[in-house]
């Protein structure tokens, strides 16, 4: 799959899925600008990947839910890479609360981290891609946004919003050569879910038709497909589901 020389901006790059996508892109020939709010973890990721490919990995730590920070992110990525061919929005947050116990602040935090951040990044990057006449935008949603889950009404609403947003943006951006798609993973073996209740985590893998959760590297392949040519050239407004069979549309 050809992404040799492509310039990729990846948010949430210190997380399990973001890091796996960054590593696969780098090994497939891309140049990277990586972003995460966790500066220490991001430094570790950039250091490890830069050791593999000196001069092809850069990045900065910031909060992608903040409008001014996103503008700084895009400016820095442009300066570093000379343009942006691929945007992957892999940042996010999760919590677990019954709706009657959920404060508005928690609702807004989860919506902001998972939906506002996608809107801000896409809005900032799209003009660049339109001027180039080409680009790929890949949002990371979730199977919970497709099927729902108790105690995750806020997260489900946010991720369903990401899917709907991606479909609408795909129609808006396609005439300019920009292809927008989403990836909706199922359970993935990362630290993202570490603060969820034990009863939620227990038995999750066994309930999946495949019988196990995914490794981050197994999600990254979908992101490579959607960024590559010619393999990803006719994917538009799609939601790919590497979810161990949890959702079968």
Torsion of Cα atoms, 214 then 217 then 221 then 222, to 10°: 50
Out of 155, 183, 190, 216, the active site residue is 155
d(CA 228, CA 165): 22
Q: How many residues does the chain have?
A: 249
Other Cβ atoms closer than 10 A to 203: 9
Cα atoms found within 13 Å of the Cα of residue 36, Cβ hemisphere only: 22
Q: What angle do CA 219, 19, 179 make, to 5 degrees?
A: 60
The number of angstroms, rounded, from the C-alpha of 189 to the middle of its chain's C-alpha atoms is 16
Q: Is 25 designated active site?
A: no
Q: Which residue numbers are catalytic?
A: 155
């Amino acid at each position: 799959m050809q992404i040799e020389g492509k310039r990729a901006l990846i948010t949430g790059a210190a997380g399990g899925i973001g890091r796996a996508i960054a590593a696969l892109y780098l090994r497939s020939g891309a140049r990277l600008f990586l972003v995460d709010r966790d500066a220490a973890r991001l430094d570790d990721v950039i250091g490890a990947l830069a050791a593999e490919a000196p001069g092809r990995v850069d990045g900065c730590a910031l909060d992608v839910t903040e409008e001014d920070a996103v503008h700084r992110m895009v400016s820095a990525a442009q300066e570093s890479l000379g343009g942006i061919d691929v945007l992957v929005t892999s940042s996010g947050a999760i919590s677990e609360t019954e709706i009657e116990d959920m404060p508005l602040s928690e609702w807004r935090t989860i919506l902001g981290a998972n939906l506002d951040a996608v809107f801000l990044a896409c809005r900032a990057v799209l003009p660049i891609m339109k001027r180039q006449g080409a680009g790929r935008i890949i949002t990371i949603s979730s199977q919970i946004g497709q099927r729902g889950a108790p105690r995750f009404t806020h997260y489900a609403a946010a991720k369903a919003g990401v899917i709907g947003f991606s479909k609408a943006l795909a129609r808006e951006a396609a005439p300019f050569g920009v292809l927008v798609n989403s990836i909706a993973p199922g359970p993935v073996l990362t630290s993202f879910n570490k603060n969820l209740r034990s009863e939620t985590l227990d038995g999750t893998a066994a309930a999946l038709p495949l019988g196990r959760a995914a490794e981050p590297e197994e999600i990254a392949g979908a992101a490579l497909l959607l960024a590559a040519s010619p393999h990803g050239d006719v994917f538009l407004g799609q939601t790919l589901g590497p979810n161990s069979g949890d959702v079968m549309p």
